[in-house]
Amino acid sequence: MKNLTRNTDDDRWLAVLARDLTADGQFVFAVRTTGIFCRPSCRARHALRKNVCFFPDAIHAVQAGYRACKRCFPDKADPQAYRVAKVEKACRLLEQDRPLTLDALAQQVGMSPYHFHRLFKSLTGMTPKAWQQAARAERLRRALMEGETVTASVLAAGFPDSSSYYRKADEALGMTARQYRSGGNHLAVRFAISHCSLGRCLVAESERGICALLLGDDDTALLAELTLMFPHARYESQNEDFTRRVGQVIARVDNPDASLALPLDIRGTAFQQQVWQALRAIPCGETASYRQVAQAIGKPDAVRAVAGACAANKLAILIPCHRVVRTDGALSGYRWGTARKAALLQREAKPREA
């Protein structure tokens, strides 16, 4: 019979209070009032000591009538791999054209809706509903780009009817389906090019918010880049309100501590949206590797795809792809030049070093 490790129950209780990762695998603890057992490092709220007992492993705890915690998975050898597998299965289900409720999705992956929702968001940075909507928007884009009619594209993407499409699809595409199909025809865009601490900066906005923030050294090249993004857009003249918003964006470019409350018009595939959401979660002054970002969205093998999503970013600094580096800490590439990337990281690191 396997024996409990750590010398006494007091020692084991101290490990539980400290959520000591090194104690995982040495014993499990159970809570009499809930009937649940956990690994020592479990992040759940601590029970009272008088209600806690200890077992050498999950098998003994189950034999005593306790159920495994749905947060720390003490009955699994590799709980993180188990969590990732659950989320990956859910992502595949959500990417189908049949809509799923949270309850139905949680049932298919074998978890309670509450714990599943919490786990999914912690690994992907998105709720299951947002992931499903992003996947549906990607199917709609693909169908429209392949030349399908708007009605056929809407149905192929998984919208149950035209009315639900008109409520949601316009937001997903950032324009109407007909405009998207024609490369943004009639889409109204304003833009301005100004000087900033990183050289020249192009700021563009649609009716939904800032849709491009491009850096460079040449105004002509910046304008050409914008035209490639919106080849058939209708470019409108600047006005006083837009000029003020451009000033706010430039202030944010020049100062990492400056806040920016303007809405962003973020367009991309479902996968790109997931990556960009993860990038926005990287704190100022810190970096993450491409592999870490891939792991954060629940797709640890998609390192190259993450790099591609970073390169496709149209909102420099506002979506901080400059904070993603190689595993060895090297800067790697940057859409707007590695010199700018180095300058941004150096500038953001200063407050942390102070």
Q: What is the CATH number of the domain that holds 143?
A: 1.10.10.60
Do 208 and 176 belong to one domain? no
- How far apart are the C-alpha atoms of 306 and 292, rounded to whole Å? 10
Residue 73, domain member (yes or no): no
Residue 262, domain member (yes or no): no
DSSP state, 283? P
Instruction: Report the pLDDT averaged over residues 67-75.
Output: 89
Cβ(68)–Cβ(36) below 8 Å: yes
What CATH number has the domain bearing residue 35?
Answer: 3.40.10.10
Same-domain check for residues 205 and 282? no
The residue with greater pLDDT, 280 or 134, is 280
Torsion 290-292-297-302 (CA) sign:
positive
> Exposed, middle or buried, 105 (CB in 10 Å: 0-12/13-18/19+)?
buried
pLDDT at 199: 94
Domain boundary among 46, 68, 90: 68
Do residues 91 and 175 both lie within one domain?
Answer: yes
One domain, residues 50 and 94: no
Q: What pLDDT does 132 receive?
A: 77
Question: Is 345 strand, coil or helix?
Answer: helix
Q: Which of 69, 201, 310, 321 is catalytic?
A: 321
For residues 177 and 199, membership in a common domain is answered with no
CATH, residue 241:
3.30.160.70
The answer to whether residue 287 is domain-embedded is yes
DSSP string, 171-186: HHHTS-HHHHHTTSTT
Q: Is 321 part of the annotated catalytic residue set?
A: yes
- Mark whether 246 and 281 lie in a shared domain: no
Would you place residue 87 in the very low, low, confident or very high pLDDT band (cuts 50, 70, 90)?
A: confident
The first and second tokens of residue 36, run together, are 């649940």
Q: Are residues 169 and 208 in the same domain?
A: no
Strands across the sheet containing 67-68: 52-55, 28-31, 36-38, 67-68
Confidence of residue 29 (pLDDT cuts 50, 70, 90): very high
Please check whether residues 29 and 98 belong to one and the same domain: no
Cβ 14 vs Cβ 36: under 8 Å: no
Taking the C-alpha atoms of residue 271 and residue 142, their distance in angstroms, rounded to an integer, is 13
Asked whether residue 140 is domain-assigned, the answer is yes
276 plus 347 within the same structural domain: yes
Task: Tell me whether strands 209-216 and 199-206 are parallel, antiparallel or unpaired.
Answer: antiparallel
Last residue of a domain, one of 181, 209, 238: 181
Domain limits for position 215: 188-252
Which of 189, 186, 190, 168 lies closest to 178 in space, CA to CA?
186
Set 38, 69, 201, 310: catalytic member? 38
Whether 4 maps to a domain, the answer reads no
Residues 303 and 328 both lie in one domain = yes
* Mean pLDDT in residue range 54-73: 92
Structural domain includes residue 260: no
Instruction: List alpha helices for the chain, DSSP H.
Output: 9-17, 58-63, 79-94, 102-109, 113-124, 128-145, 150-157, 162-173, 177-181, 219-229, 240-254, 270-280, 290-296, 303-311, 338-353
Same domain, 176 and 83: yes
> Is 81's pLDDT higher than 90?
no
- What confidence tens digit (pLDDT) does each residue in 102-153 have? 999 888 888 888 888 888 887 776 788 877 777 777 666 666 555 454 445 4
Residues 278 and 236 placed together within one structural domain of the fold:
no
**How far is Cα 290 from Cα 125, in angstroms, rounded to an integer?**
16
Would you say 28 and 57 are in contact if contact means Cβ atoms under 8 Å apart? Answer: yes
CATH number assigned to the domain comprising residue 312: 1.10.10.10
pLDDT, one tens digit per residue, over 297-347 is 888 888 888 999 999 999 999 999 999 998 888 888 888 998 999 999 999
Structure tokens at 201: 């900066």
Q: Is residue 109 part of a domain?
A: yes
Number of domains within the chain = 4
Which of 45, 68, 91 corresponds to the end of one domain? 68
Is 259 part of any domain?
no
- Give residue 178's pLDDT band: very low, low, confident or very high (50, 70, 90): low
